[in-house]
Amino acid sequence: MNNTFASTPFLIVSGAGILALMLGLVPNRRLQRTLPTLAGVGAILAAGIMSAVLWDEKRTAVSENFISDKFTLLVNFVFLGAALATLGLAWREPSSADKRGEYAALILLSTAGMMLVAAAGTTIVLFLGIELLSVALYVLCAIETWRTRSLEAGLKYLIVGAVGSAFFLYGLALLYGATGTTVLGRVSGRLADTGLAGDPLAIAALVLIVVGLAFKASAVPFHMWTPDVYEGAPTPITAFMATATKAAALAAFMRVFSDSLLTLVDDWKIPVAIIAAVTIVIGNVAALRQESMKRLLAYSGIAQAGYLLIGIATGTVRGAEAVLYYLFAYLVMTLAAFAVVIVREREVPDGDRIRSFRGYGRNNPVMGTVLTLAMLSLAGIPPLSGFIGKFLLFGAAVDADMTWLAIVGAVGSMVSLGYYLRVLGIAWLEEPPAGEKRLRLPAAVGAVGVTCAVLIVAFAIGGGLLIDLCRDAAQSIFTG
C-alpha cells in the first residue's frame, strides 16, 4: 500500500525542526528561550502518537523510498524518547540558553535523520538519513563555541564521520553495481538470481558497508573518536549521541543485513561476530582505567555496542528481537546515568570527574538511587532490564550456534563490574567532602533521571509486553 500518510511522524519532526529554528528569531527573549523547546516537545509527542496509530499496517511512501512497518515505528520510539529526554536535560544548559532555537532545531533534525534511516526503503534514502543525523550532530558537538574542547569535539566528529560516510557510500555504490537496484527489498533477490552472492564485488560492498556503520556504532576498531568527542561535547548532546545515534546505527545494520544482505549471511556472520567480541573486550578493559565519568560512559557505550552486535551477528529473528529490546533498556539506563552527571556538573566545577561523586549518594539520595539503578542495569545485574536484554542477546547467540560469542559477552559483563561498582562504591561508601553545599535539584534534569530510573525497573517487570512488540517488529524485517 503506497500512502504518503506513512511518513507523517517523520514529517512532523522535520517540520518542527524548521519551526523551532524560526521561533528562535522572535523578538521577545523569554519566548525565544521557551517556544523552540515547547515546539519540539509537542512535535515529539505528536510523532509518537502517529507512530502508534500507524502500527498495524505496513505502508510505503514516495515510490518505495520510505517504509513504515512495525520495525520502523518501534525504533521511532527510541529516537523520540532520546530527543525528548535531551530537550529536558538541556534546559538551562549554558550551550542552549542563548541558542535555544538552533539547539532544539538541530536535535529535531538529527532525530528526523534517524527516523529516515529506520524507514529507508532504498540505499539513497538510507545514506541521506545518516548524513542528516550526522551533520546536525557535528554542529551540536561544537555549539559551545567559547570552549576549546567543544570545538575540538565537533571537528573530530566531523572528520571521522566524513571518513565513515565515505566508506559507507562507496559500499552502497558497489552494492548497486552488483545488483543494479537501490531498493533494499530487492537486493537479496537480485544477488540470488544473478549468482553474485559470493562475487568479489558483492563482498567488497559488504565489507565497506560494515566499516561505515561500525564507525557510527562506535565499534572497535572504529571507536577511536568516541571518548574524546563524548568528553568534549555538551553533556546533554553526549547523552543524545550515546543513545540515539547508536540506535540509528543498529537500525541501519538490521535494515541492511537482516533484509537486503540476508543472502550473504554466511559471509558477514563471523566477521560481525568477531567485531562484536573485540568491541566488548576493548570497551570494558579500557573503561577500567578512566577517571572521567563521560569517558567511562563512552567506553561503556563501546562495550554496549559489542553486546548489540551479538544480535546482529546471529542473523535471526530472535537476535533482532533481542537487539530491539536492548535498545530500549540501553536508552533509559544511559540517559539516567548522564542525568546524574549533568546534575553534578552544575553543582561542582569538576563534576565530570569520578572522584567528585564521593559520598554523593548520601548527600543526594534521589540522584544517588538513579545512579545506582543505571550502573547496576548497565552491568547486567538481575532483575533489572539490562540483565534481561543481555540474557536475550546471549540466548540468541547460543541458538545460532555461536556459544563462544555468548561466553565472551558474559565475561565482558563480569569485567564491567570493576568500573560500575567502583562508581557506586565512591558514591555510597566514601565520606562526602566537608562543607559541600548541594544545589536545588534541577526540575527538568531530575525528572528525566527519575523517569528513566523507573523505566529501568518497568522494562524488567513488564518486559513481556515490550518483548512481544520487539518480536513483531523483528519479524516485519525478515518477512518483508
Segment 142-155, tens digit of pLDDT: 888 788 888 888 89
The answer on 349 and 296 residing in a single domain is yes
The pLDDT assigned to 336 comes to 93
The answer on 232 and 295 residing in a single domain is no
Inform me whether the pLDDT recorded for 480 exceeds 60. Answer: no
- φ/ψ of residue 224, rounded to 5: -60, -25
The answer on 223 and 294 residing in a single domain is no
The answer on 123 and 184 residing in a single domain is yes
Question: Does residue 435 come out as left (phi exceeding 0), alpha (psi in the -120 to 50 range) or beta?
Answer: left
Question: Which of 446, 447, 429, 449 has its CA nearest to residue 438?
Answer: 446
The pLDDT assigned to 49 comes to 93
Q: Cβ(320)–Cβ(477) under 8 Å?
A: yes
> Please, which residues have CB within 8 angstroms of residue 60's CB and are 6 or more apart in sequence?
1, 2, 3, 6, 66, 67, 68, 121
Which band of pLDDT confidence, cut at 50, 70 and 90, is reported for residue 98?
Answer: low
Inform me whether the pLDDT recorded for 387 exceeds 50. Answer: yes
Q: Which has more pLDDT, 432 or 356?
A: 356
The answer on 269 and 255 residing in a single domain is no
Q: What percent of the chain has pLDDT over 90?
A: 47
Average pLDDT over residues 315-334: 92
Average pLDDT over residues 6-20: 91
Question: Which of 259, 182, 275, 290 has its CA nearest to residue 223?
Answer: 275
Please tell me what DSSP assigns to residue 348. S
The answer on 180 and 93 residing in a single domain is yes
Inform me whether the pLDDT recorded for 163 exceeds 60. Answer: yes
Inform me whether the pLDDT recorded for 96 exceeds 60. Answer: no
Average pLDDT over residues 286-314: 92
The answer on 281 and 228 residing in a single domain is no
Question: Which of 285, 217, 220, 303 has its CA nearest to residue 257?
Answer: 217
Instruction: Please list, residue by residue across 334-354, b when 16 or more beta carbons sit within 10 angstroms of its beta carbon and e when fewer do.
Output: bbbbbbbbbbbbbbbeebbbb
Inform me whether the pLDDT recorded for 32 exceeds 80. Answer: no
pTM (predicted TM-score): 0.93
The answer on 174 and 101 residing in a single domain is yes
The three cell numbers of residue 392 are 536475550
The pLDDT assigned to 445 comes to 84
Angle at 90 between CA 89 and CA 94, to 5 degrees: 135
The three cell numbers of residue 235 are 553533556
Q: How far apart are CA 413 and CA 421, in angstroms?
A: 12
Average pLDDT over residues 204-217: 89
Return the SS3 of 61.
strand
The pLDDT assigned to 257 comes to 82
The answer on 439 and 400 residing in a single domain is yes
Q: What percent of the chain has pLDDT over 70?
A: 94
The answer on 392 and 266 residing in a single domain is yes
Inform me whether the pLDDT recorded for 192 exceeds 80. Answer: no
Torsional sign, CA 339, 342, 343, 348? positive
How far apart, in Å, do the first and last CA atoms of the chain sit? Answer: 13
Which band of pLDDT confidence, cut at 50, 70 and 90, is reported for residue 95?
Answer: low
Average pLDDT over residues 224-247: 90
The answer on 362 and 271 residing in a single domain is yes
Inform me whether the pLDDT recorded for 124 exceeds 50. Answer: yes
Q: Which has more pLDDT, 6 or 241?
A: 241
What is the count of structural domains for the chain? 2
Mean pLDDT of the chain: 87
Last residue of a domain, one of 231, 259, 287: 259
Which band of pLDDT confidence, cut at 50, 70 and 90, is reported for residue 1?
Answer: very low
Last residue of a domain, one of 211, 226, 259: 259
Question: Does residue 18 come out as left (phi exceeding 0), alpha (psi in the -120 to 50 range) or beta?
Answer: alpha
Classify residue 291 as exposed, middle or buried by CB count within 10 Å of its CB (0-12, 13-18, 19+).
exposed
The pLDDT assigned to 197 comes to 59
Last residue of a domain, one of 259, 293, 315: 259
Which band of pLDDT confidence, cut at 50, 70 and 90, is reported for residue 86?
Answer: very high
Range of the domain at 425: 261-480
The pLDDT assigned to 412 comes to 93
Question: Which of 252, 248, 121 has its CA nearest to residue 184?
Answer: 121
Least confident of 122-126, 142-146, 275-279, 468-472: 142-146
The answer on 269 and 285 residing in a single domain is yes
Inform me whether the pLDDT recorded for 196 exceeds 80. Answer: no
Residue 101 CA: distances (Å) to CA of 26, 40, 139, 449:
10, 10, 13, 24
Average pLDDT over residues 270-295: 92
